[in-house]
Amino acid sequence: MSRFRRLGLRERATDGLVRHTVGNAFVLCSEDVMSPGTKALALSLSADPDHHLMVVDLPPDSPVSAWESLAASMPKGRRPVRLVIGGRSREAVAMTGQWLSTRLKRTFVVPDGVVSLGAGGSLLVHSGPNSGWVRFRPGRAPRLEGKRFPKPQWESAELNGIETGNPAVVTEPLPGGLWIRPGGETEAVALSRSRLISGMAFQPEVLSIVVGGPDLPPVAPADVAEVCRLLPVACRAQVRFVEYGPSPATGVATFGHSLANLLGGDIVCYGGMPIHTAAGCEVFTVRPDGTLGWNMFAQQLVYRPQATPILAGAPEVYGYRRPAGDGLTEVAPAVYAREPDVVVEVVRSGLWVRPANGVANAGRIRSIPADPLAHFITFEAADVEQAGRMRAVAEDVLAQIDPPTRDVTRLVPATTVHSARVKDISRELTETDLAALDLSVPTTVVASPALPLPEAPGVSEDPEISEIDLAEDNFFAENATVVDSPLTLTRMPSEDLVASDQPVILDGGGRLR
């Protein structure tokens, strides 16, 4: 029995071709000769509810009779077929789609461009502005569809055609969104592209806009704002920004606050990089070299326009991961009661153990950004008695959180915490510490609440936000509905951004690999 039968059903076609059922796809290949890349690809692909999904793995020098066999091997019925073909030029693939459609009087969807396997079984077809999936229908002109499979809610020709007015900055499609980066092709660009395609979460309801990359020149918020103003109105509320590269010098304002001011409305940023796992999406810090740090508690942050940047407050924690452990009861968004008078709050730098009635330095603690190398449990220590009790609670919280996060955690008193000190503490972590992470422990994530949208310019449904002077055009609220990423997750990925720095690419240079 063929070793491929274990993967699914095996049916003999004609002229030595065999059709296997592998995962969600059919695979057509020469008898008992399925390349490892083809097998991995077919097993990875998402289901296509509207088409038969067929992966064709034939040598580039296949005779003409093989294509007649291909036509004869199509699944029975009139259901449209989506073909994934490697080892052929764009022109050859397009001609195959047209020929099959005419020959079988059936609809075929084929890729016109380089096909890359993205996270979550997604596929990206991109070789320039006029590339993508092409639909061939009998007796009708071909129609260019989107670049992505499965087709996300925000996919559109308008989105795929956005270009910046700055020749030094380009936009590039990703399976899960758009990448705004410096122009040119360098090793750093290629490495970041591979990681983003293979690792960044594909979320049909979330349009992730990635800005910059490690070892690349910074992208100015003004260039990002220009791209955002060209986005289709219908998808603006689905946007989540990912600050992947270094921020330019913007004075006292952060990237998030600068962009919110430029756009005149609230924006939502991921705290780190949204990563695809077998169970869904988790958000990790990104180290300076582009690899992953720790699994964040504060996963999404809301930035609001500020008339005076120097007075800009901390961004609001929007989507967050629940700290593990018994005895934690959520009493407010991102705040958990640990004792009758002690709470654990999710903040950007990690977790904060504090009195339930609040403290005077709350803004300072909430403003400290996440360190990509170290997770901090900060505890209040106004006096010796309080310090002892709060540290004891912090140690108990530390003992119950997931081991991967615990391994890179540092306990610090709030009285000594400031940005410079946080950086000094994080340097104490060694590469041995980071390499010893146990990434097998399940975690639980709390779903993001709905972001309040103003009923009219300057008026919000949330009484705490109504006092903020919003611009007349609340950019990501106009004529749109916020759709949040589902955050019910149980597994953690590899410590690197992706399992491999090389995405699976189907191009004209050979068979699927």
Residue 395 dihedral angles phi and psi, to the nearest 5°: -65, -35
- More reliable by pLDDT, 56 or 502: 56
- 71 Cβ contact list (under 8 Å, min separation 6): 100, 103, 104
- What average pLDDT does the segment 382-408 reach? 90
| Mean pLDDT estimate for the chain | 78
* pLDDT tens, position by position, 81-95: 999 987 677 888 888
Asked whether the predicted pLDDT for residue 491 surpasses 80, the reply is no
Instruction: Determine how many CB atoms are found less than 10 A away from the CB of residue 129.
Output: 13
- Measure the CA–CA gap between 285 and 291, rounded to whole angstroms: 9
> What is the per-residue pLDDT for 259?
94
Q: What percent of the chain has pLDDT over 90?
A: 54
The residue assigned the tokens 């995405």 is 503
- Listed range (137-146, 285-294, 305-314, 414-423) with the worst mean pLDDT: 414-423
Structure tokens at 71: 């036509």
Asked whether the predicted pLDDT for residue 441 surpasses 60, the reply is no
Where does the pLDDT of residue 382 fall: very low under 50, low under 70, confident under 90, or very high at 90 and above? Answer: confident
Looking at residue 448, what DSSP letter applies? Answer: P
- 193 Cβ contact list (under 8 Å, min separation 6): 172, 179
Please, what is the angle between helix 90-104 and helix 64-72, to 10°?
50
> What is the per-residue pLDDT for 431?
42
Asked whether the predicted pLDDT for residue 1 surpasses 70, the reply is no
Asked whether the predicted pLDDT for residue 428 surpasses 60, the reply is no
- Measure the CA–CA gap between 407 and 510, rounded to whole angstroms: 44
> What is the per-residue pLDDT for 4?
33
Where does the pLDDT of residue 11 fall: very low under 50, low under 70, confident under 90, or very high at 90 and above? Answer: low
- Measure the CA–CA gap between 504 and 512, rounded to whole angstroms: 8
Asked whether the predicted pLDDT for residue 488 surpasses 90, the reply is no
Query: What is the full DSSP assignment across 273-305?
Result: EEEEETTEEEEEEE-TTS-EEEE-SEEEEEE--
> What is the per-residue pLDDT for 451?
32
Instruction: Determine how many CB atoms are found less than 10 A away from the CB of residue 399.
Output: 9
Using DSSP, state whether 159 is helix, strand or coil: helix
* pLDDT tens, position by position, 303-332: 999 876 555 678 999 999 999 877 789 999
> What is the per-residue pLDDT for 294?
95
Residue 374 dihedral angles phi and psi, to the nearest 5°: -130, 140
- Listed range (71-80, 226-235, 442-451) with the worst mean pLDDT: 442-451
Where does the pLDDT of residue 43 fall: very low under 50, low under 70, confident under 90, or very high at 90 and above? Answer: very high
Asked whether the predicted pLDDT for residue 455 surpasses 70, the reply is no
Residue 391 dihedral angles phi and psi, to the nearest 5°: -65, -40
- What average pLDDT does the segment 485-508 reach? 35
- More reliable by pLDDT, 276 or 451: 276
> What is the per-residue pLDDT for 396?
94
Contact 386, 354 (CB under 8 A): no
- More reliable by pLDDT, 506 or 59: 59
- More reliable by pLDDT, 507 or 354: 354
> What is the per-residue pLDDT for 312?
60
* pLDDT tens, position by position, 143-185: 999 999 999 999 999 999 998 888 999 999 999 999 999 999 9
Asked whether the predicted pLDDT for residue 427 surpasses 80, the reply is no
Where does the pLDDT of residue 438 fall: very low under 50, low under 70, confident under 90, or very high at 90 and above? Answer: very low
- Amino acid letter, residue 170: V
> What is the per-residue pLDDT for 496?
37
Nearest CA-CA partner of 374 in 498, 502, 287: 287
> What is the per-residue pLDDT for 18?
86
> What is the per-residue pLDDT for 461?
31
* pLDDT tens, position by position, 96-146: 899 999 999 999 999 999 999 999 999 999 998 889 999 999 999 999 999
Structure tokens at 467: 């006092």
Q: Are strands 143-144 and 342-347 parallel, antiparallel or unpaired?
A: unpaired
- What average pLDDT does the segment 292-297 reach? 94
Asked whether the predicted pLDDT for residue 2 surpasses 60, the reply is no
Residue 321 dihedral angles phi and psi, to the nearest 5°: -100, 130
> What is the per-residue pLDDT for 155?
95
- More reliable by pLDDT, 381 or 453: 381
H or E element at residue 376? strand 375-379
Structure tokens at 244: 């992947």
